[in-house]
Structure 1
């Protein structure tokens, strides 16, 4: 049953209505005239405006889109005070005109400050943005104070003295208070403008484009990168690049991450690999004259075609995961020099798809990222819970209901799992769920509500005793009907929580950005210099310690909703006894453990056709949208005699991920060496050709 509307959904409109009501009350107070109403509504409106940024920031962007931004709101508020003064006070015309003129001068200084902030912000947008690189030679400067750069913060704060002065004038019928307040606001705005202007002086002025590009070329010549990871994408897609960072860092060359969107620089996870963002194509071409031999591409993007123009660089498409979706054999893959896949299954997928990818260009390298996944060690402990990981994929760009089970089956699956006393559910939705189809986001919200309600019920009520087994009913038939000895849902120990807090702080310190939260990209470049030796190993150790502490601190029987980068999906794999997912790369990765898994069939195909069309589900249990097969699925997890797919999973693992020996990282490194050698050979041929053409 769909959940009722969220009370937070209407909060922005309630907030907007309250703000407009205060303006209406101030307007009435100015016209009646009524000094008490005018002052109360005006002061309340300013206080309300100042508080919005802290408890309802979303409404500010809505009002800006409606051209009702902070300057317009404050101007209207002060105008109503001036109208009220005309009706209420006996102040002479001259003082009133001086007061109005001072207010107008304050607004002029505000807009001058705003124009200067735009100029400074644009001048500080460098043609190259970096991380993990020493930029001291550029002489970068910190960003100006945020209140001076952001009109949404500057206007309400600096206008407080002026509004307070007008309140005093209305209440006392003396122009002195208004002149003092308006003068103070004018001084604040003018002083802010003068202070901002210092960022245009030589000491704080950012380097020009030519100097920045010359520095970047010098850095490339000194660092001499050979292997790079190229990524372009929008918000929420950084995980596609992040999954390859550890593999890139483990290579024996000089790696580099090349990005195209400025906002992506800070979305890339903690790494010691140098990161450069080159937004413009003209500047990207500097890589042609570098030592960079090859680029890895974890995703197709419109801007990928721009870097493919560089003839000195070889390109390998690694993708960000393999599945039986059509996107895993995209025709665009033919533009790369090579397509690197995990195992024979992907090679066969490209051959069957007939999208123009030559089989000679397909290289099997395994999945180096899967090394942390622990192998299957047998059924779960009879005295403990059965941990089920439900990790559905998202709706995809095609919005096909068969892409994700969240829409048609998610709630049924979760209800069926929650109905089993012994199940502990880990729900980890895809981070892009609901980004294309809002209905998927709504279904995800209902699933979360079911899990939260189950936890609340388990914490507040003791489960009723189950009936004793009937005569002749085998333990295998009872399956999961008998729950283990009850344990408190809120049974996290204080020491476990303290250890998690300590490990979180340790990891946050190691991965923290060395800059103010509101720093601009130039200041971040200034602070994010080359990491100290050994930081990568320290981060890896701290991450593993955090994982251990996180799982130890969770209630033994509580269901968990897991979002965000921590804990990562592979850590969830190691906790799970069973995976339920869709046709996605999650299934192929989970097979590294050879644990039981199930795939939800929301395609509408009969089971035989569904298995034939999707090789990754050949060793899976198939769940229909009604989730009627969940009890039998759980019995097969707890009773090895019922697990008839164990051998098929081992065979499918080799088919999807390739052989266990040599290790995937070794095969990946060999593929890098081979493609770099091909790049060197092409450069040599070009050099010989150029030399021959230059001969008389």
Structure 2
């Protein structure tokens, strides 16, 4: 497998900067020992420039220096000491006594840096709360803005605060006037003392946020006051936040008291805008406090290692809702048997679990449809204008290395070239966010596809248009409502303070403005201009509504797109023949199957433009019913009914356990209580279902 250019470039950068710094320090040492003032000053200036470049554009390279025990403190100290060596050689033995206070002052600067770093760690610990929240009034926790980012980042702090000393030493080497060095060292000392004092003030009792005990007591009180009944539990990486986001609106529309439970602190700011209270509980002991809350049901959009921890809580019922349904094995994962119920869209998913034989009982599978798809508009006929909008939304390469997972590598460029060759096509390319995260070939193919699209746009005449003032206004208003405008140095405590409560009516305003923004966005584009869609706006469902045709892979995108009843095609890039491909993946039953050479694209476009030549319309309607279930009752109603039924089951379970505890002997009650607190979770079965 050839190594992609981007990978080679990153590797070269990792080797280039350490080599360049080593060479510069060697040159500085030569300049100090000869002594040679121009070489000494030039090497010092280049060294500082390289440091600034590292912190600004190549922060990943810094870890290499740390592993080699050559971190920023060592490098800055070496740089300044070489300047001192140069001054000593320039001044001779007569200056040794004169330079002694400068050496002492310089060492004092580094001692203050070490002290500041120790205090900074203490401040960070006091501001690392056991519970992180959003959309909850946490003012009782004595939250405050974060200290300046410069004081919290050791590398930046040492470079900036030590710069006067380094500059003063360099000026003395040039002018032979020790007052420059004395002034520079004195200024660095004053700045270091001021920074240390500012950090120490943060440790005063009145300046610290609430301690762990206070925060946990506050959290218990909030649970008792809010009395949540249903929640969404999510744990995952930064790129997976969209999986939770697709269930936020259905959850918010329930007649219940919803809450979002997260496990990773960084995820609090990555969850899409919502008015639902968000709580992050990083530690298991804190998570277990939910056992004594009013929370009855948790829905799970994905599986993760930390999911097993919350499944230990016997007072809560758990439902796996997934973040999408497809014919992939991940849509019938054996992990699903750990949940009390598995909620699927339609009969096809129920059959998928039965055929997979992964331990999920049919009685525990509940069909709820896909409530997110209310925003997808139904098929309204062939393209109305001269343009046929095609959405190419391939999935990513997956973890197993199966070449049939994504079409990007084997067929992506061919498909895009074939589409761009038709002057009546407008292409929307929306790759999966994880494309290239496992297989570098997928990432390289994705970049080549983007370049093909950009090149096609550049070749179009008259493509320059005036920016839309209305779109800019709507963007600014949406950004104001959906982001908190954090300053660059804000930490989690400061964000909790800023996100304590959403504006009244914000959710309705965001929905209204999003619809207006999407309309303005599509209207603002030059006629027929192709688009690479990678930002949060426009959404995937907005692209569905704009498209006349979808080309995708075997993924949940197909299932969701079928809600509109429009034509779709699937790329077959594996080793299966078309009949085998259709038999293996039921979601392909109503699709046009494309080969990697994209030879079927012209006929596909012709069928989209002339519905009388579309022989798959009835098949799509049948498949839509199998995948998504009936249109009546609506998916949101079925979702609400499933939540209500599982909440009732949770309440009945609690009542039975409470009655049983009341009739048992005290010793047995203690033993049972211990099991309910988590001991029973060591077994693979679900204690809540057995009870």
Alignment TM-score > 0.5, same fold: yes
- Secondary structure of 1:23 counterpart: helix
- 1:457 alignment partner in structure 2: 459
Contact 1:489 1:557 in 2 (8 A): no
Contact 1:2 1:446 in 2 (8 A): no
**In 2 relative to 1, CA 314–144 (structure 1 residues): closer, same or farther, beyond 3 Å?**
same
Contact 1:393 1:403 in 2 (8 A): yes
1:66 Cα deviation after fit: 4.3
- 2:680 alignment partner in structure 1: none
- 1:537 alignment partner in structure 2: 508
- Secondary structure of 2:5 counterpart: coil
Contact 2:143 2:209 in 1 (8 A): yes
Q: In 2, distance between residues paired with 1:8 and 1:558? A: 32
From 608, 624, 630, give the equivalent of 1:653.
624
Q: In 2, distance between residues paired with 1:585 and 1:327? A: 11
1:554 Cα deviation after fit: 1.6
- What does 1:592-607 correspond to in 2, within 5 Å? 592-607=563-578
Q: In 2, distance between residues paired with 1:201 and 1:107? A: 24
- 1:473 alignment partner in structure 2: none
From 655, 659, 662, give the equivalent of 1:684.
655
Q: In 2, distance between residues paired with 1:84 and 1:566? A: 57
- 1:129 alignment partner in structure 2: 132
Describe the superposition over 1:205-234 as per-residue Cα deviations: whole angstroms up to 9, x where unpaired. Answer: 222211111110000000000000000111
Say yes or no: does 1:293 pair with 2:264.
no
- 2:227 alignment partner in structure 1: 224
1:2 Cα deviation after fit: 9.4
Contact 1:23 1:45 in 2 (8 A): yes
1:304 Cα deviation after fit: 0.7
Describe the superposition over 1:219-250 as per-residue Cα deviations: whole angstroms up to 9, x where unpaired. Answer: 00000000000001112111110110011111
From 189, 200, 211, give the equivalent of 2:214.
211
- Secondary structure of 1:200 counterpart: coil
- Secondary structure of 1:458 counterpart: coil
From 178, 183, 187, give the equivalent of 2:186.
183
- 2:265 alignment partner in structure 1: 262
Q: In 1, distance between residues paired with 2:525 and 2:4? A: 30
- Secondary structure of 1:572 counterpart: helix
1:176 Cα deviation after fit: 2.0
Runs of 5+ consecutive residues of structure 2 not aligned to the other structure: 668-691
Q: In 2, distance between residues paired with 1:182 and 1:311? A: 63
- 1:546 alignment partner in structure 2: 517
Contact 2:391 2:429 in 1 (8 A): yes
1:443 Cα deviation after fit: 1.5
Contact 2:4 2:440 in 1 (8 A): no
- 1:641 alignment partner in structure 2: 612
- 2:492 alignment partner in structure 1: 521
Q: In 1, distance between residues paired with 2:610 and 2:376? A: 23
1:65 Cα deviation after fit: 4.5
From 197, 200, 204, give the equivalent of 1:201.
204
1:626 Cα deviation after fit: 1.4
Contact 1:3 1:446 in 2 (8 A): no
From 320, 323, 326, give the equivalent of 1:323.
326
Q: In 1, distance between residues paired with 2:625 and 2:449? A: 34
Q: In 1, distance between residues paired with 2:452 and 2:64? A: 31
State which drifts further: 4-13 or 166-175: 4-13
Q: In 1, distance between residues paired with 2:242 and 2:337? A: 24
Q: In 1, distance between residues paired with 2:660 and 2:412? A: 61
Q: Root-mean-square deviation (CA), in Å?
A: 2.0
Q: In 1, distance between residues paired with 2:558 and 2:489? A: 39
Q: In 2, distance between residues paired with 1:89 and 1:555? A: 70
Say yes or no: does 1:106 pair with 2:109.
yes
Contact 1:514 1:527 in 2 (8 A): no
- 1:337 alignment partner in structure 2: 340
Describe the superposition over 1:33-66 as per-residue Cα deviations: whole angstroms up to 9, x where unpaired. Answer: 2212212321343244235433444444554454
1:611 Cα deviation after fit: 0.7
From 424, 427, 431, give the equivalent of 2:426.
424
Q: In 1, distance between residues paired with 2:369 and 2:98? A: 81
Say yes or no: does 1:375 pair with 2:368.
no
1:525 Cα deviation after fit: 1.3
Q: In 2, distance between residues paired with 1:554 and 1:68? A: 51
TM-score normalised over the length of structure 2 = 0.93
Say yes or no: does 1:489 pair with 2:463.
yes
1:72 Cα deviation after fit: 2.4
- 1:154 alignment partner in structure 2: 157
**In 2 relative to 1, CA 695–37 (structure 1 residues): closer, same or farther, beyond 3 Å?**
closer
- 2:146 alignment partner in structure 1: 143
Q: In 1, distance between residues paired with 2:545 and 2:55? A: 41
- 1:479 alignment partner in structure 2: none
- 2:671 alignment partner in structure 1: none
1:633 Cα deviation after fit: 1.0
**In 2 relative to 1, CA 543–158 (structure 1 residues): closer, same or farther, beyond 3 Å?**
same
Q: In 2, distance between residues paired with 1:561 and 1:243? A: 21
Q: In 2, distance between residues paired with 1:33 and 1:522? A: 51
Q: In 2, distance between residues paired with 1:61 and 1:664? A: 49
From 29, 32, 35, give the equivalent of 2:34.
32
**In 2 relative to 1, CA 437–678 (structure 1 residues): closer, same or farther, beyond 3 Å?**
same
1:94 Cα deviation after fit: 1.3
- 1:608 alignment partner in structure 2: 579
Contact 1:30 1:81 in 2 (8 A): yes
From 294, 316, 337, give the equivalent of 1:313.
316
- Secondary structure of 1:434 counterpart: coil
Say yes or no: does 1:282 pair with 2:285.
yes
Runs of 5+ consecutive residues of structure 1 not aligned to the other structure: 460-487
- Secondary structure of 1:236 counterpart: helix
1:183 Cα deviation after fit: 1.7
Q: In 2, distance between residues paired with 1:372 and 1:451? A: 28
- 2:356 alignment partner in structure 1: 353
1:123 Cα deviation after fit: 2.4
**In 2 relative to 1, CA 539–288 (structure 1 residues): closer, same or farther, beyond 3 Å?**
same
- Secondary structure of 1:583 counterpart: coil
- 2:670 alignment partner in structure 1: none
Q: In 2, distance between residues paired with 1:11 and 1:421? A: 42
Q: In 1, distance between residues paired with 2:519 and 2:89? A: 70
Contact 1:406 1:443 in 2 (8 A): yes
**In 2 relative to 1, CA 363–440 (structure 1 residues): closer, same or farther, beyond 3 Å?**
same
State which drifts further: 209-218 or 413-422: 413-422
Q: How many residues align?
A: 664
